[in-house]
Chain A
Amino acid sequence: MPAPSRPTLSELFAAHPRDGGWTAFLLAQIDTAGPVLWVQQRMAILESGRVYPPGLPVADLIHVEARDAREALWAMEEGLKCRTLSAVIGELWGDPAVLDFTATRRLAVAAERSHVPCWLVRLGGAANLSGARMRWRITSAPSLADPLDPRAPGAPAWDAELFRARGAPPGRWSLAHDAGAFHLVARAGDRAVGQGQRLSA
């Protein structure tokens, strides 16, 4: 699975606003040991919930509740000036007018200048023009089998579609994450295929 060679802006589209699967996909890609700035637009909180620290592996979280997209973008850019952060995550709802090419380009440049990875998460939005270096669309997939309980949900899996990337061909993968690495998994139904293949993140 391709990963950006240096910290930059990645855009992530949730397949559905009520599908929280992308959260684990994103958390698997960032360094959770350092401080993380997580900006949520109020509408995103109402629609798909507030991030919940006891459930997150993030050691140090700063949470910002932004009234609108303009505030959220400002907070993200402000966060990208702080090199101590290990990631900046911003959740925006819908297709706000302020989120145009210029705004995403600004974020991308700021992220690259300060070497802080920035994730712009779009809930219920359309993939219009953007300055993001990588653009993902994440859908939850039926989870892997739980080794102890066949009726329980196991490790999460996703259908990850990289539909635009600079310096990498687009692609589509079925993924699961375990022990610091992504695994290719077969489509739901056939668990035997792809079990041994590994691609480092």
Chain B
Amino acid sequence: MPELAIERWGKDSGFPPDAPIVLTIEGTHGLLIHAVTQAAAERGAAPGARLTDARAIDPALVAVPADPEGDAALVQRLARWAGRWSPLVEVDGPDGLRLDVSGVAHLFGGEAGLVRDIERSFARLGLTARVAIAQTAAAAWALARCSPSPLAGEGDSAKASGARGRGRNRPPPHPSAACGCSLPLPRGERGLFHELTPLPVAALRLDADTVRTLDRLGLKTVGALLEVPRLALARRFRGAEDVVDALDRLTGRKPEPLTAAPTVSPPRALLRLEEPATHPEAPGQALERLIPELVRQLEERRLGARALSLAGYRVDGSVALASVATAIPSREPAHLERLLADKAAALNPEFGFDAFALTAEWTEELGAAQESLVEEPSGERDLARLVDRLTVKLGPRAVRRPRPHESHLPERASGWVGAISLPSLSREGEGGGWRVKRLDAAERASSRASSPLGSTPPLRPSPEGEGKVKRPHRLLDRPEAIDVIYATPEGMPRRFVWRRAVHDIARAEGPERIAPEWWRSASSARLRDYYRVEDADGRRYWIYREGLTGDGRGGAPGWFIHGLFG
């Protein structure tokens, strides 16, 4: 796919096709051109050149940074997609794919048909592809990338290289090169040899230095190279620049197997029914038979399930799905069954299920742990199972655990997260877990030192000592506005009305000033002065005044109640 980078960029950004655009990458000496549009190529830009040089030719070029990672990801996706033609697909370099098409070409109407199909499919994706089929992978690579016209090679065992460069024209008969070479070729490959000989030596996939050396020696084509005695070549080029080795791979004298990316299918248990089952208990009964099978697979692969789904395939082709998740990897049959049982029972059979599949969609490593000798699971696992059961029934948003969050804003500091999504159930931090921020004392000191207004009330040090702030046991989800009577606008509150009940403040402590997080909130957010107050009945509340008079962020400060102390 020679135009992959520019075509992908074009599809993503929707640029006009005639714009002179070049994609650039960082080079050692400034930006290098990675890919060019047709219009840019006409103006003298070429991949590999320096951007400044190209700009010198035509200053109108538009440079855009290239995205090699994105391109590589696309090639990976295409490799999976290319599995439609062959089971053995390998990503080849940044812009190529190699397919082993031995024995599959007839499915597409012969090799010509296969090539046509590949071309048509890539064209439908909007990608230019040069396709070649040859007896060896190296030959296919060479033909796809370096042949002026590509070739659907003949031959019974073939490798296709869906790679760069496919011209429009059909393969013309090449001028037969001198075939009187000193190398005996494997039989039946003369045709291929004819095609290969006129190719430049760059088709051998040698590194640039070797290619340059060969060029200087006058060996410009593969054919010329084949005429040189092997021994001489072997003596001249050694080590990394092994020309003989490259020639052997090209001609098939040395095997070059493809290594396809291993595909690991998730553990899956399948149950086919002879007759469609329409009774509502069917999914539950299927589950009973599927879980032992799935657990066996999980055990074999030393995995534990984190997410499971039971798919019921209906006779009319639709699929009913029930999914659950677990807090820690598990492969205990009873637990998994209990999680899925309710959801499985709710699957609607409609016209009847004729197959069930239970898939562990997300698995994690789980060693061969032994349950303790007595029937008592360990604490953490026990707790995780409780979380699973609660989450399955009540939903992931209803079951949560706190994760300490570094924030001075009380509502952000609680850091509730779904209990099921917390990877490790053990808490960070020791002791009480909630480390009271030491910063708080420092912040108080600094706010006292650099108070923007001269009229702020004096701040007393907290009686509990440095670094310890009192937080309420309960926090209202959203602070409620209260009416407050105070002695001075920025002094202690005296009395407040919350939910139509009057509370006389007997004792109060504060303020604890919490500034808005300017990097998150709008610039109009106001600071809060928190007070710990106790009313005449001994009920303790956490109230705050939002803003200061004359801070330029709104009118008179409002009062809110935010928490209840125990």
Contact = CB atoms under 8 A, between A and B. Distances in A.
Interface of A: 16, 18-27, 35, 37, 45-46, 48-57, 59-67, 71, 74-75, 78-79, 81-85, 139-143, 146-149, 151-153, 156-157, 188
Contacts of A54: 404, 410, 413-414, 434, 436, 471
Contacts of B399: 62-65
B540 A156 contact: yes
Given A52-B472, A149-B509, A152-B509, A24 B566 contact: yes
How many B residues are at the interface, by size bracket?
35 or more
A120 to B, nearest CB: 17
Interface in B482-506: 498-499, 501, 506
A112 to B, nearest CB: 18
> Which secondary structure characterizes the binding site on chain A?
mixed
Interface in B526-566: 532-534, 536-540, 563-566
Contacts of B472: 20, 49, 52, 55
A75 B398 CA distance: 11
Given A18-B501, A22-B566, A82-B382, A52 B509 contact: no
Contact of A143 (B410, B434, B475, B538): B538
B400 to A, nearest CB: 5
A75 B379 CA distance: 18
Interface string B453-475: 00000001001000000111111
Given A52-B474, A152-B508, A153-B540, A18 B534 contact: no
A99 B565 CA distance: 27
A142 B505 CA distance: 11
B510 to A, nearest CB: 9
Interface stretch (B177-185, B207-215, B261-269, B383-391): B383-391
Nearest to A63: B400
B419 interface: yes
B152 to A, nearest CB: 65
27 contacts: A20-B474, A21-B540, A37-B386, A49-B476, A49-B563, A51-B474, A54-B414, A59-B427, A60-B433, A61-B402, A62-B401, A63-B400, A66-B394, A71-B393, A75-B393, A75-B394, A78-B390, A79-B386, A82-B383, A146-B509, A147-B463, A149-B460, A149-B463, A152-B509, A153-B534, A156-B540, A157-B538
A148 B462 CA distance: 9
B419 A62 contact: yes
A83 B382 contact: yes
A82 B381 CA distance: 10
Contacts of B506: 142
> Which secondary structure characterizes the binding site on chain B?
mixed
Contacts of B432: 57, 59
A48 B474 contact: yes
B416 interface: yes
B468 to A, nearest CB: 12
Contacts of A147: 463
Nearest to A35: B383
Given A35-B383, A50-B475, 6 more contacts: A22-B566, A49-B475, A52-B410, A52-B472, A63-B399, A74-B393
B424 to A, nearest CB: 12
A175 to B, nearest CB: 12
A48 B532 contact: no
B272 interface: no
Interface in B364-390: 376, 379-380, 382-383, 385-387, 389-390
B402 A63 contact: yes
Contacts of B477: 45-46, 49-50
Contacts of A75: 390, 393-394
B106 interface: no
Given A54-B410, A141-B538, A142-B506, A23 B419 contact: no
Interface of B: 376, 379-380, 382-383, 385-387, 389-390, 393-394, 397-402, 404, 410, 413-416, 419, 427, 431-434, 436, 460, 463, 470-477, 498-499, 501, 506-509, 532-534, 536-540, 563-566
Contacts of A152: 463, 507-509, 532
Contact of B398 (A53, A65, A79, A148): A65
Contacts of A61: 401-402
A156 B534 CA distance: 10
Contact of B566 (A21, A65, A139, A146): A21
A143 B268 CA distance: 62
A141 B506 CA distance: 12
B383 A27 contact: no
A156 B402 contact: no
A147 B463 CA distance: 8
B300 to A, nearest CB: 30
Given A49-B477, A63-B402, A75-B390, A23 B538 contact: no
Contacts of B379: 84
A55 B411 CA distance: 12
B332 to A, nearest CB: 15
Contacts of B389: 78
Contacts of B540: 20-21, 140, 143, 153, 156
Q: 10 tightest CB-CB pairs across the interface, nearest first? A: A24-B566, A20-B564, A23-B566, A49-B474, A53-B402, A55-B471, A152-B509, A52-B475, A148-B463, A140-B538
Given A52-B414, A60-B433, A62-B419, A20 B539 contact: yes
A190 B222 CA distance: 108
A64 B396 CA distance: 10
A151 B427 contact: no
B539 A52 contact: no
B499 to A, nearest CB: 7
A49 B561 CA distance: 11
B473 A27 contact: yes
Contact of A53 (B382, B387, B414, B476): B414
Contact of A85 (B383, B414, B419, B427): B383
A113 B355 CA distance: 42
Contact of A18 (B387, B415, B539): B539
